[in-house]
Amino acid sequence: MKLSLKNPVFLLMVVLGVLWGGEVCYGQLSPGQTAPVFSLKDLKGQTHDLSQMKERPMVILYFFDVDSRPSQEGLLSLNQLAKQYKEANLTVWAITLSSQERAAKFSVSAGLVFAILPDLTNVSNLYHGRVILPTVCLIGPGLKVLDYFQGGGKTTEMMLVRLAERQLQQKQTRVAKAISAEVVKRNPKNLKAKTVRGYAALKEENLKEAEEEFKDLAQKGMEGEVLGKEGLAAVHVKKGEAEKALQLAKEVEQKAPQRGYVHVIKGDLLYAQDKKKEAEAEYQAAIRKEDVEPYQDALRYNQMGRYYANLGQYSRARDFYDRAITVDPYYIEGTTNKGITYEKEGKWDKALETYRQSLSLDKSDTFAAILAKKAQEMLEIQRDAERKKRIDQLVKDLAARYRMQKETAPKIEDTWTSPPMVISFVDFQEKGGLAERDGFSTVLMTQLADHLNSSGRVRVVERVLIDRLLEELNLGSSELANPETALKLGKILAAKLMGTGSLYYLPQGTLLSLRLIDTETSAIPQVTTRQLGMQAALEKELFQLNREILKTVILKYPLRGYLVRVTGDQVIVNLGAKQGVVSGTKFDVLEEAEPIKYKGKALQTSPKAVAQVEVVRVEPDLCFARVLKQEKALQPDSKVQEKIEETALR
């Protein structure tokens, strides 16, 4: 039954509501409260238990009447979206008091991909979904109520817009745009839906599409002008056009003094200009303002938290991160940022717990996964007394050598044979704006280390050892920016190459500057500058960076050794897995050429390759190879050098 003021029963309820309480209230659930749990069976007899859905990002409970088209309207829209955008993984439970026979008939005719749950246990009463239909409840992580709607028509439109906003919070930009487009198609005057489309394009870094959307929006009256110019300010920030962004932000502030997001924009721009106190004032202003879009709400608290975390005020920072997570349960950035504040205080158990909460929101989040791995490792060290004791002693020894400027590596007679290639990374100096996510340097170095270690060609000094050593020596990012400091660290760690550089946070992305320094010669074999974009592409970009480092190592530091034994067409080389030899590695066998005498001087020429061998088996300290070709008989103690093949560098 669709209620209206023409319905006598409904009219009586209105009158009684006024007499009893001064306002009409049929009962509803409030955002933030825990949703009542229940268990119902669908038309196939399969049980659906809400208590088992705590880890789901979202569950949509849709209470409806199968005989009422207005009651069905929103459900049919959701059904169409689920068919088109399977990546959205929408979980919708369609609950009805209608008979199972009518429900089954409707399910077939509508082609529903969702389960219909006949309500045989009065679940509708728990959600006040009996009198006004449809009643829709959006439930988030931990079974917390996100949003609650009652009624069709305009209310269904509001529900779809809010669902689009929630999808944007979850970074499901394609789905957010699709829902918004559906709303705009039905009602071209729905400015909130158009705004969602603009910010979805912005999150995808499709600046042209976002700019066009916001320009069109700015022509739609007073509200549209405010929303459009606010969005355009964000676009100009991404384009690196700070002055244009600030001008638009000021215009929005004049026309709509209660808008909060423009103050975040201004705060970020001021922070990037090193005007940190002015930035703090803007972040504070953003928090005081009442008018902000749901998908921007958490950002203002997060930036305030980031500001205080950079000052070392970790407890205060956590208060703001908690507020960010409260207003947006999908805001994984605030959750990992909170974990890092625990790291800085040495509370690794709390840090790990927080990172695991982040992973429950998004198991594919690179930041959360890497930070959780590091926290787990630190906890294991703390629990392993013997390992902790060994690390503590090693750190003290290394610190003492650093202060005395003594190297750990002893002088060796054999200068030809390649030692194991050891690389050490020190913290990247962080500059520029206030990044939304903390911990980028840690994530970058950890991921690079994993890629490089897995190659077998290089070994990266353990991050925990570096962290402990820097803590013991009280070296901060400013000291590490000094190449001489980096070189001294590399030498005492017996690292051939030292990786250092900076991360410059720009609105359009993070600019990475990486230098590899040879700790023996002070030469710089590699300088890399690249812009790192969205997290979705971060894995690919770091993998490519790993390939570039390996290419530098292979080209600049080819493996060198000696023939230990020669037996027919088989040879043994004094290089093994420790130096990075793998099956298939090829070596040239070298013969020293006679020097050329000129004006009383002996001019040394490059050695000549007289044979080529290919590795067929590798042990830790040596390898076995077969002779591919040779010009003369091979002798033990002949020098070998890795043959670089172009295909290996691609």
Same domain for 534 and 570, yes or no, is no
Provide the whole-model pTM: 0.85
- Residue-level length of the chain: 650
User: What does DSSP assign to residue 410?
Assistant: P
Can you read off the two tokens belonging to residue 109? Answer: 């005719």
Q: How far is CA 534 from the centre of its chain?
A: 8
Cα separations in angstroms, 633 against 109, 574, 589, 605, 638: 84, 19, 11, 22, 11
Domain boundary among 556, 573, 590: 556
Query: 3-state DSSP helix/strand/coil percent for the chain, to nearest 5?
Result: 50, 20, 30
Q: Whole-angstrom Cα distance, residue 184 to residue 178?
A: 10
Residue 158's identity, in one-letter code, is M
Same domain assignment for residues 547 and 597: no
Final residue of a structural domain among 520, 539, 556: 556
Residue 597 maps to a domain = yes
In a domain, 565, yes or no: yes
CATH number of the domain that 442 lies in?
3.40.50.10070
Residue 442: predicted pLDDT = 87
Number of domains in the chain: 2
Show the tokens assigned to 471: 């803590």
Q: What is the DSSP string of 326-358?
A: HH-TT-HHHHHHHHHHHHHTT-HHHHHHHHHHH
So what's the pLDDT on residue 11? 39
CATH of the domain at 625: 2.40.10.410
Is residue 607 domain-shared with residue 504, that is, in the same domain? no
CA 161, 164, 170: angle at the middle one, nearest 5? 150
At residue 435's C-alpha, the angle toward residues 307 and 445, to 5°, is 115
Q: What is the structure's pLDDT at 469?
A: 85
Positions in the chain short of pLDDT 50: 1-26, 408
**499 and 601 fall within a common domain:** no
- Tell whether 442 and 481 lie within a shared domain: yes
Give the integer Cα–Cα distance in Å for 345 and 318. Answer: 12
Instruction: Assess if residue 316 is contained within a domain.
Output: no
For the beta carbon of residue 400, count every other beta carbon within 10 angstroms: 12
Q: Note whether 524 and 630 are same-domain residues.
A: no
Q: Are residues 428 and 536 in the same domain?
A: yes
Omega within 30 of 0 (cis) for the link into 134: yes
Q: Is 501 left (phi over 0), alpha (psi -120 to 50) or beta?
A: left
Residues 498 and 581 in one domain: no
Q: What pLDDT sits at residue 10? A: 40
DSSP output for 195-214? HHHHHHHHHTT-HHHHHHHH
Neighbours of 42 (CB within 10 A): 18
Of the residues 556, 587, 603, the one at which a domain ends: 556
Domain that holds residue 504: 419-556
**460 and 520 inside one domain:** yes
597 in the same domain as 542: no
Residue 269 Cα distances to 218, 259, 317, 334, 511, angstroms = 23, 17, 20, 20, 16
525 and 436 share one domain: yes
437, 542: one domain: yes
Structural domain contains residue 298: no
